Amino acid sequence: MTLLPNIIFGLILLSGIGFFVKNINKLRRNIKLGKSINIEEGSSKQRWANMARIALGQSKMVRRPISGILHIIVYVGFIVLNIEVLEIVIDGLFGTHRIFSSIGSLYGVLIGIFEVFALLVFVAVVVFWLRRNVLRIKRFMSSEMKGWPKLDGNLILYFELVLMALFIIMNATDTQFQSMNSGNIVSGVVAPWFEGLPIHAIERAAWWLHIVGILIFLNYLYYSKHLHILLAFPNTYYGRLAPNGQMDNLDSVTNEVKLMMDPDADPYALADEPADEPGKFGASDVFDLNRIQLLNAYTCTECGRCTSECPANQTGKKLSPRKIMMDTRDRLQEVGQIIDVNKGTFKADGKQLLGDYISNEELWACTSCNACVEACPISINPLSIILDMRRYLVMEQSAAPIELNTMMTNIENNGAPWPYNQMDRLNWNNE
Amino acid sequence: MSEQLKVPTMAELHAQGIVPEVLFWVGCAGSFDDRAKKITKALVKILHKANVKFAVLGAEESCTGDPAKRAGNEFLFQMQAITNIEVLNGYAVNKIVTACPHCFNTLKNEYPSLGGSYEVVHHTQFLKSLLEEKRLTIEGGKFKGKRITFHDPCYLGRANNIYEAPRDLISKLDGELVEMKNCRKKGLCCGAGGAQMFKDAEAGDKEINIERTEQAIEVKPEIIAAGCPFCNTMMTDGVKNKAEGQIEVMDVAELIANAQDL
Ligand code: SF4
Ligand code: SF4
């Protein structure tokens, strides 16, 4: 017996995983370009519970029953079939064949379950494909879904189809497994199709392609919206626990406002203080966002549930909360590539998230209604990015729409958004 | 309407050494907007009816800063907040009721970390607790049997998870509460939030309030109930556009007050 296949297998596995780890490290590095953030609200117990309920338990997926149930099939299938991958890895490394079959009749039951799931996943994925390409469900047809996002969505589906098919073929052409006649619920039906063909070679080919396919898919994640299968877990953990309506108070502003309003503050003493870099208010690029917002961007699966609930989008405005997330990720990837090219340092490229990706028009169309936040099945908050960019527009650039400037001047002068005198606040009772 | 209601201010009560049970935060819309002033008066009448010792800040009240904050002007927001907190803390206010979900959200969620912690309730929550304490009774009166749909204000519903208090009150009117296809967590915005009230909408193919009004019209209500002065304005405009004279837009407080001819 030659060890060559084992060595080749080991090398493929190692490079597959190695490349993946390299990309994950890049991802971590990119997320860390954002500002660190204290998560004060809630206990870690609450956060684990949220992760268990929302990511593991898919609780928000079923709000849309059809896609929700299909998604759960694919998700459970994915997890269950990973047990099979473990067997393949052991077999590959040690030159065994179906090492788990030694557990006896339970093995047949297990493989039976895997095969049923493989079939279910296959069917679900076909339906997903039809929804995207034939039924052309509206939320997959928006302008931000043209080009790569559309191809990406379909590629994932093709990957899954091929992997499921290879799994069944691998079982169907495994004469030893078929002769056990236990657990070959689906492959037993398929097996006769291969009669008269070089069955052993097909089995080996399917086996190798299956595992290589999985490794390729694993490495595809980093370039794809499919990252959500991993990041949904940390993302739901870090999901906000405060009420949706609560927007953070900027500490940097609090300090300045307190000084401004404190009659005892000595402006001269202040000027002597080492000018603590006041920092910039709000966000114009990914560096100004916090790490959770950047994690959000990588986690977004481009499902468009947010956008389809967005009142601005529904009434034809340019704003799409999904696009906000996609733009943030695209810009972050671009920045990451610049850092790669320049061996670890970022060189300004004359571009930024605001303007080059997200326009003022989009930002000003938001009603802060939280529909997107509520709709997202994996606790992404597009609104917080919108608000941070508005902050930049207003506080750094004074670039609010004119009517909003009038509103703010009124508040400043009379304590109301309209030009009424604060002294008249009780006049309603005299009318 | 020219009858004068008894509306004590904190300053007056303070001078007499009286501490009211609750501060009624009227808000800018409730103080200045013609439509919203009626909601303010309705609520005051109910508070009197239920014998609630309340007070307002009057000229000492100032915008909570909500529209400034949502527009991105954190400076102006915090200046407003700190000014208001000084006044509120000066009177040692514990409990605040307001008929505006925006004021409610801001006071409840965004003031505490700036030094202003109070028990803040929306008027529908407050009225519901009065009902439960048997300090208030609600009769259907002229609303008996009427079809009423409730429009969830974003800043009450999704923002703060309050969906049932207004519905519980409406159901006491013996009307028929009908739900729009988008309600509660999925309620569609009226289009006013996030400082949109104060500007024209961006280019699109429809106004948000028209879309929402159409959703309401689908369930054929006689009344659209609201719990927010801004929603009220937006829905009133929508109805003017779409079903003038056929549907009334009323705040939950107005429904309760009008039912008993207060
Ligand atoms: S919060 Fe803004 S982006 Fe999100 S759904 Fe509402 S309007 Fe759209
Ligand atoms: S933000 Fe959430 S709801 Fe919106 S597209 Fe991304 S994953 Fe879907």
**CB contacts, 8 Å: B74 with chain A:** 249-250, 253, 281-282, 391, 395
Q: Are residues A220 and A322 in the same domain?
A: no
Question: Do the chains contact at B71 and A394, CB–CB below 8 Å?
Answer: yes
Amino acid type, A109 = V
State residue A277's pLDDT score.
56
The answer to whether A415 contacts chain B (CB < 8 Å) is yes
pLDDT score, position A272: 45
Residue B184: left if φ>0, alpha if ψ -120 to 50, beta else—which one?
A: left
Note whether A204 and A338 are same-domain residues: no
Which amino acid appears at position B31 of this protein? Answer: S
CA atoms within 13 A on the CB side of B190: 30
Last residue within a domain, chosen from A176, A205, A237: A237
Q: Please say whether the beta carbons of B158 and A370 come within 8 A.
A: yes
Q: Is A162 on the interface with B (CB under 8 A)?
A: no
Nearest CA-CA partner of A101 in A30, A194, A180 = A180
Question: Which of A389, A60, A70 is closest to A235 using CA atoms?
Answer: A60
Q: Is the pLDDT of residue B153 over 90?
A: yes
Residue type, B51: N
Q: Is A73 domain-assigned?
A: yes
Q: Could you tell me the two tokens for B235? A: 């829905």
Atom of ligand 2 nearest to the CA of A305: 3
Mean pLDDT within B93-116: 97
Helix pair angle (A291-299, A4-31), 10° resolution = 130
- A227 shares its domain with A297: no
- Please answer yes or no on whether A394 and B196 come within 8 Å at the CB atom: no
Q: How far apart are CA A394 and CA A407, in angstroms?
A: 13
Same domain for A220 and A327? no
Residues 183-212 in A contacting B (C-alpha not used; CB under 8 Å): none
At residue A40, the pLDDT reads: 73
Q: Quick one: CA torsion of A186, A188, A189, A195, rounded to 10 degrees? A: 140
Residue B1, pLDDT score? 47
The answer to whether the Cβ–Cβ distance between B211 and A314 falls below 8 Å is: yes
The verdict on residue A430 lying in a domain is: no
Asked if A419 is an interface residue toward chain B (Cβ–Cβ < 8 A), one would say no
CA distance B65 to chain A (A): 8
Quick one: which of B240, B53, B74, B66 has its CA closest to B154?
A: B66
Domains of chain B: 10-131 (3.40.50), 139-259 (3.40.50)
How high is the pLDDT of residue A255? 84
Q: In this complex, is the C-beta atom of B26 within 8 Å of any C-beta atom belonging to chain A? A: yes
Sign of the CA dihedral running A392, A397, A399, A404: positive
Judge whether B121 and B142 are in contact, CB under 8 Å.
no
- Alpha carbons B197 and B193: distance in angstroms, whole number: 6
Q: Residue B73 is which amino acid? A: N
Determine, yes or no, domain membership for A408: yes
d(CA A143, CA A148): 12
Q: What gap in Å lies between CA A13 and CA A9, rounded to an integer?
A: 6
Residue A426 located in a structural domain: no
Q: Which of A335, A345, A326 is nearest to A285 (CA)?
A: A335
CATH number at residue A293: 1.10.1060
Beta bridge partners of A290: A35
* Phi, psi angle pair for A60, to nearest 5°: -90, -10
Q: Quick one: A287 and A203 in the same domain?
A: no
Picking from B4, B75, B209, B211 by the largest number of A CB atoms within 10 A of its own CB, the best residue to mutate is B75
Tell whether A300 and A389 lie within a shared domain: yes
Domain hosting A84: range is 4-237
> Does A157 lie in the same domain as A302?
no
Q: Give me B134's structure tokens.
A: 């048997």
Q: Is residue A100 part of a domain?
A: yes
- Residues A54, A59, A61, A64, CA torsion sign: negative
Query: Of the ranges A420-424, B75-79, B140-144, which one carries the lowest mean pLDDT score?
Result: B140-144
Residue A101, domain member (yes or no): yes
Instruction: Determine whether the shortest distance from the Cβ of A244 to ligand 1 is under 6 A.
Output: no
Closest CA to A228 of A170, A165, A305, A173: A305
Residue B56 near chain A (CB below 8 Å): yes
pLDDT in tens, chain A (431 residues): 578 889 999 999 999 999 999 999 999 999 999 999 888 778 899 999 999 999 998 899 988 989 999 999 999 998 888 888 999 999 999 989 899 988 888 999 999 999 999 999 999 999 999 999 999 999 999 899 999 999 999 999 999 999 999 999 999 999 989 988 888 999 999 999 998 899 999 999 999 999 999 999 999 999 999 999 999 999 999 999 999 999 999 988 888 888 887 766 655 554 444 445 567 899 999 999 999 999 999 999 999 999 999 999 999 999 999 999 999 999 999 999 999 999 889 999 999 999 999 999 999 999 999 999 999 999 999 999 999 999 999 999 999 999 999 999 999 999 999 999 999 999 998 88
| One domain for residues A299 and A165 | no
Same domain, A136 and A82: yes
How many contacts (CB atoms, under 8 Å) link A and B?
224
- The answer, yes or no, to whether any atom of ligand 2 lies below 6 A from the CB of A323, is no
Task: Show which of A205, A237, A269 is a domain's final residue.
Answer: A237
**Nearest chain A CA: its distance from B156 CA (Å):** 9
From CA B230, how far away is CA B251, in angstroms rounded? 11
C-alpha A111 to ligand 1 mean position (Å): 46
Structurally, chain A folds into a number of domains equal to: 2
Do A44 and A159 sit in the same domain of this protein?
yes
Q: Answer yes or no: is the C-beta of A372 below 6 A from any ligand 1 atom.
A: yes
Comparing alpha-carbon positions, the chain A residue that sits nearest to B108 is A246
Q: What are phi and psi of B16, to 5 degrees?
A: -90, 0
CB of A376 within 6 A of ligand 2: the answer is yes
- Could you tell me if A375 and A336 are in contact, meaning their C-beta atoms sit under 8 angstroms apart? no
Read off the pLDDT band of B2 (50, 70, 90). low
Residue A299 φ/ψ, nearest 5 degrees: -85, -25
Contact B3/A at CB under 8 A: no
- In whole angstroms, give the CA distance from residue B120 to residue B126: 9
Interface of A with B in 228-287 (CB under 8 A): 242-247, 249-250, 253-254, 256-258, 260-261, 281-282
State ipTM.
Answer: 0.94
Q: Which residue is closest in CA terms to ligand 1's atom 4?
A: A372
Average of per-residue pLDDT across B36-48: 96
Classify residue A242: in a domain, yes or no. no
Contact at CB, B9 and A415, closer than 8 angstroms:
no
Q: Are residues A288 and A412 in the same domain?
A: yes
As a whole-number percent, the residues of chain B with pLDDT over 90 amount to: 87
CB atoms within 10 A of CB A130: 13
Q: Print the SS3 string covering chain A.
A: CCCHHHHHHHHHHHHHHHHHHHHHHHHHHHHCCCECCCCCCCCHHHHHHHHHHHHHCCCCHHHCHHHHHHHHHHHHHHHHHHHHHHHHHHHHHHCCCCHHHHHCHHHHHHHHHHHHHHHHHHHHHHHHHHHHHCCCCHHHCCHHHCCHHHHHHHHHHHHHHHHHHHHHHHHHCCHHHHHHCCCCCCHHHHHHHHCCCCHHHHHHHHHHHHHHHHHHHHHHHHHCHHHHHHHHHHHHHCCCCCCCCCCCCCHHHHHHHHHHHCCCCCHHHHHHCCCCCCCCCCCCCHHHCEHHHHHHHHHCCCCCHHHHHCHHHHCCCCCCHHHHHHHHHHHHHHHHHHHHHCCCCCCCCCCCHHHHCECHHHHHCCCCCCHHHHHCCCCCCHHHHHHHHHHHHHHHCCCCCHHHHHHHHHHHHHCCCCCCCHHHCCHHHHC
Q: Contact B31/A393, CB-based, under 8 Å?
A: no
Q: Which of A237, A259, A291 is the last residue of a domain?
A: A237
pLDDT of residue A81: 87
Task: Show which of residues 211-230 on chain B sit within 8 Å of chain A, judged by CB atoms.
Answer: 211-212
SS3 annotation, chain B: CCCCCCCCEHHHHHHCCCCCCEEEECHHHHHHCHHHHHHHHHHHHHHHHCCCCEEECHHHCCCCCHHHHHHCCHHHHHHHHHHHHHHHHHCCCCEEEECCHHHHHHHHHHCHHHCCCCEEEEHHHHHHHHHHCCCCCCCCHHHCCCEEEECCCCCCCCCCCCCHHHHHHHHCCCCEEECCCCCHHHCCCCCCCCCHHHCCCCCCCCCHHHHHHHHHHHCCCCEEEECCHHHHHHHHHHHHHHCCCCCEEEEHHHHHHHHCCC
Q: Does residue A423 sit within a domain?
A: no
pLDDT of the residue at A267: 54
pLDDT of the residue at A271: 47
| Distance of CA A306 from the midpoint of ligand 1 (Å) | 8
Q: Is A324 in the pocket of ligand 1 (CB under 6 A)?
A: no
> Same structural domain for residues A23 and A169?
yes
Torsional sign, CA B62, B67, B71, B74? positive
Give pTM, 2 decimals.
0.93
